[in-house]
Amino acid sequence: MPTFFVEADGGSRGNPGPAGYGAAVIDAATGETLAETAEYIGVATNNVAEYKGLIAGLRAAHAIAPDATIRVRMDSKLVVEQMSGRWKIKHPDMKPLAAEARDAFPPSAVTYQWIPREKNKHADRLANEAMDAGRRGEQWEPSTSAVGGAGRPAQEDEARVVGDAAAGAAKARAALAGGKPASAPAAVVDSGTAVTTAAPSVGWGSSADLGAPTTFVLLRHGETALTPEKRFSGSGGSDPELSAAGLRQAEAVAAALAARGTIQEIVSSPLRRCRQTAAAVADRLGLDVRVEKGLRETDFGAWEGLTFAEVQERHPDDLASWLSSTKAAPTGGGESFATVARRVTAARDRLLAGSSGRTVLLVTHVTPVKTLVRLALGAPPESLFRMELSAASLSAVAYYADGNASVRLLNDTAHLRA
């Protein structure tokens, strides 16, 4: 049974600010570095980045030898003491991360040791490499590391569905390319032997001759009576119809899309407000509307119809958990954002497989639109809370045959001001 050191670190340039983590798996007997992993995670705090580094390091170790004994070494007193059970975890952002770390490797096989920062230079360097790459708009690459070939582990977190920009778009976009599906980047172990294939190239380095992309024009439905009151309105509530204002918005966006003349297909969420919005566009364009159940809004459980303030008053602990983790579900059996991300990803792949090279209008809701944009950008799950999406707004994402994606428009409401 081998013994590994997992050295992990994370940092944030601003706290919160642009953040990244790094981790290394080291053979305790020989001192050989078996795997390295690093990632830019967007805007986060130091503590979140440090926990992310721990999780990634434990997962990389598990990929090499699930029966190993792990000795974690970190310069974060907070993480070491909390994971050792000596300090209580009070902050809601830390609780789900600590749970992820415990799930990443059997806790009975893991011990934690605090080390001074100067003895954690390996992981610190990896974290800074990841942040530098993120600043350049790039992903961290193993070749930038002093240990050639050591890469990042496959993402196992159900909340972090692999983004189009980071890892292609699974089987559907592989069908567009006529080849095998691109796999997510994975840990590189045993002196640089990759366990999965590399991600497609991103940006200007990609092939220039990819043919016409498949473009999803993303239309959020028009207002209902609940919209201006900012009430939770998902797929588990009353299924409200468009208000008078919402009907006017639907006609306005229909006129704008008719003037552009680029929409070739229309697909709608099954909920009434989307079907009404889609019908207004379809009448203008002379197209039929297909219904895709995967495009429905999140089921907000017991929060349906309530304002944020009302939920905060009635279910404060559940709301705090929901805001701190995309795995947390609303009170009363609603859907977590992680669950919605999987559903939307599956719907996206189905639609891409059947609409190669076409421009498709998807009439849907806040969460599905934000999720599609997040995946296209390869952004972390918490980015869902950092996007504004108005009623009857238009966004657009183009998907290319090599698995890359490009966000071309976000929250355009010019047609509503005409």
Residue type, 187: A
Q: Are 122 and 6 in contact (CB under 8 A)?
A: no
Opening angle at CA 225, ends 224 and 231, nearest 5: 95
How far is residue 46's CA from residue 51's CA, in Å, rounded to a whole number?
9
Angstrom distance (rounded) from CA 416 to CA 284? 17
Nearest to 292 by CA among 265, 270, 263, 266: 270
- Is-contact 57 37, C-beta < 8 A? yes
Marked catalytic residue, from 297, 304, 335, 382: 297
Tokens 């993120």 locate to 134
CA distance linking residue 348 with residue 333, whole number of Å: 25
Three-class secondary structure of residue 368 per DSSP: helix
- 356, with CB counted inside 10 A (0-12, 13-18, 19+), is middle
Measured distance CA(416)–CA(154) in Å, rounded: 43
Q: Is 297 a catalytic residue?
A: yes
Please give the Cα distance from 125 to 9 (Å, whole number): 9
Sign, CA dihedral 134-138-139-144, equals negative
Catalytically annotated residue among 39, 50, 100, 221:
221
221 given a catalytic annotation: yes
User: For residues 106 and 16, what is the distance between their CA atoms, to the nearest angstrom?
Assistant: 30
Task: Write phi, then psi, for 224 (nearest 5 degrees).
Answer: -115, 180
Answer whether 142's CB lies under 8 Å from 149's CB: yes
Please give the structure tokens belonging to residue 152: 């990042």
- The whole-angstrom separation of Cα 263 and Cα 265 is 6
Active site residues: 221, 297
